[in-house]
Amino acid sequence: MENKAEQAGKSAGAGTGNTGGAGTGGGKTLPTCSAENFTKKSAGWKKQVEAGKPVNDLIAMIETKELLTPDMKMEIAGWASAGGAQE
């Protein structure tokens, strides 16, 4: 029985360190932003970058609701070099 208690302690410890790793909570997988949705929302996001919002902060905010592709992230980063703040 002692072995079961040790195993239970180890599995409980491993489980607590593994929850919410991406900040999503509950282990739900976020949807990837579609090209259509990105186009629709990009004007507002670009205004935020031009107003001085750091690109990394904007991407982090967006990715709490939907994931961005690497190409989408590159496009957003390009807005910063066109006149906004990068960090």
pLDDT in tens, 16-63: 444 444 454 566 799 999 999 999 999 999 999 999 999 999 999 999
The domain spans of the chain are 1-25, 31-87
Rounded distance between C-alpha atoms, residue 64 and residue 51, angstroms: 21
pLDDT in tens, 1-29: 555 555 555 544 444 444 444 454 566 79
> 32 forms bridges with which residues in the sheet?
67
Q: What is the pTM of this model?
A: 0.63
H-state helical runs in 1-34: 2-17
CA 17 to chain centre: 19
